[in-house]
Structure 1
């Protein structure tokens, strides 16, 4: 009987030790990426100049090229999965994509569900209006009752709703479609990131739209990651730090944003008004 008791106790001890060994060697999210040899990145492919198709019909843009450079640093391939902006974050949460790069602001609400890399872009909110009449907008109070164009779940459309604008939502439309609708009166304005909007307005200079003087909501933008564990964030942040130190981020910024350096925190933005987006 004593022999049997000792044997049983020994088996329990071995089983417990075995459980700890398995726990210690549990695969991380980065291990899974390394094993498959690629990162899957959700992006729109329609957001000039961050994620779009150039004249050679190849996907490029500020954030696309950053992701390609990160892939080289981490020695993995980068596969882009294109979809409408309203489905991008969901794809990260569901595991369909490993991360997302499409001009996403870091917000407290999003940090409840996702991790973010270190920021690679500093900006604020801008406003595209009709060149002929400013779309009848002189102040933020004038947003009330106006038709705001954008993706349904974006931070900027949430701000527009909070200020009384009527949302007109689009599913992964290109900049020129947005601009033509503002110029024709189908919509009144496009609330969005200033640098993205300003660069696009200059590129599509003949479409009858312009940047308004109103500025608001300072922002930091980064890669969106799953909050399953920190392993992928740690790797991505290491790569971003190297790219920043080597000057690659500032070079890409100058290339895609008309010489502007969006990689450094902006001065005097604390003076800008801040509006809470409506869910």
Structure 2
């Protein structure tokens, strides 16, 4: 009788040991599964993409007068990307410098705000397939062109813009004094040139043209002789998020092929198709 009791006890211990072992294996598998989840897996589980944009850059990212609805060329391109990837889009409005930091630290999934593709940035981020091509121009006072004839004349002039933009980098290279704003509106930038607080704004041709058209009362103009730096624009993603980049590129290429981005461009750039490459003489 005693022998039977110990036999049963030993059998119970063996069963418990096996159950414990299987449970541990199960936990290890669960942990491994969690560890193997990519950023793209998490985005799909969450069902949304977080996107940094300024909300103040007409016509890329802004609010129409009297409306709280965010819109603009890249805002609508991103919304279409989200629809094709079956993901909700959650916009976070940030200043230009904050956008790139937020992508780098993983606080947002991507940034969309007329961000040019450069070699330096490509070392730190993944850019999507380009969907906007343009070149640089300069807004100056219409009366005297702010005393600027060539890029060399930027030396000593006050140039306004974001400190990390490619245009401000160029201004510094030519000896301009930078005047930095904290996510200011286009009107602030333009009015300061008109009243002489600053002298010049270096920026993208299409953005400059539309900005001027929005404020015809200001005595400013696009410099007739300054055309430089052909540019390409795409959305920006974290260097490690390659699966997101693959999927974003897939749908952007579909949108370029079927003309969707060209249609969005026409809506926000007075009929112009910014998806077409441009050639200029440096």
How does the TM-score come out when normalised to structure 2?
A: 0.86
Alignment partner of 1:72 is 2:83: yes
- In 1, Cα distance between the equivalents of 2:108 and 2:34? 26
Whether 2:272 is the aligned partner of 1:256: answer no
Displacement after TM superposition at 1:25 (Å): 7.6
Residue correspondence of structure 1 range 28-107 to structure 2 within 5 A: 28-55=38-65, 56-107=67-118
Q: Which runs of 4+ in 1 moved over 2 A?
A: 21-25
Equivalent residue number for residue 156 of structure 2: 145
Aligned with residue 161 of structure 1, among 153, 172, 182: 172
CA shift, 1:264, in A, is 1.6
Mean Cα deviation higher: 23-32 or 200-209: 23-32
**Could you tell me how far 1:229 is from its partner in structure 2?**
3.1
The reply to whether residue 172 of structure 1 matches residue 192 of structure 2 is: no
Shift of 1:200: 1.0
Q: Compute the TM-score of the two structures, normalised by the length of structure 1.
A: 0.87
3-state secondary structure, aligned to 2:149: coil
Q: Deviations over 1:160-192 (max 9, x none)?
A: 000010000001001011010000000000011
Q: Is the aligned partner of 1:128 residue 2:139?
A: yes
Q: CA deviation at 1:57?
A: 2.5
Cα-to-partner distance string for 1:178-219 (whole Å, 9 max, x where unaligned): 010000000000011111111111122112211112010111
Query: How many residues are treated as equivalent by the alignment?
Result: 255
Gaps of 5+ in 2: 1-20
> 2:256: which partner in 1?
244
Task: Decide which structure has the larger Cα Rg and report it.
Answer: 2
CA offsets per residue over residues 97-123 of structure 1, 9 Å max, x none? Answer: 100000111111001110000001001
- Give CA-to-partner distance per residue, 1:116-155, whole Å, 9 cap, x none: 0000100111111112211111111111110000011111
Matched, 1:230 2:242: yes
1:26 is aligned to 2:55: no
Residue number in structure 1 paired with 2:8: none
Q: Which secondary structure does the structure 1 equivalent of 2:82 belong to?
A: helix
Flag structure 1 segments of 5+ consecutive residues without an equivalent. Answer: 1-10, 273-279
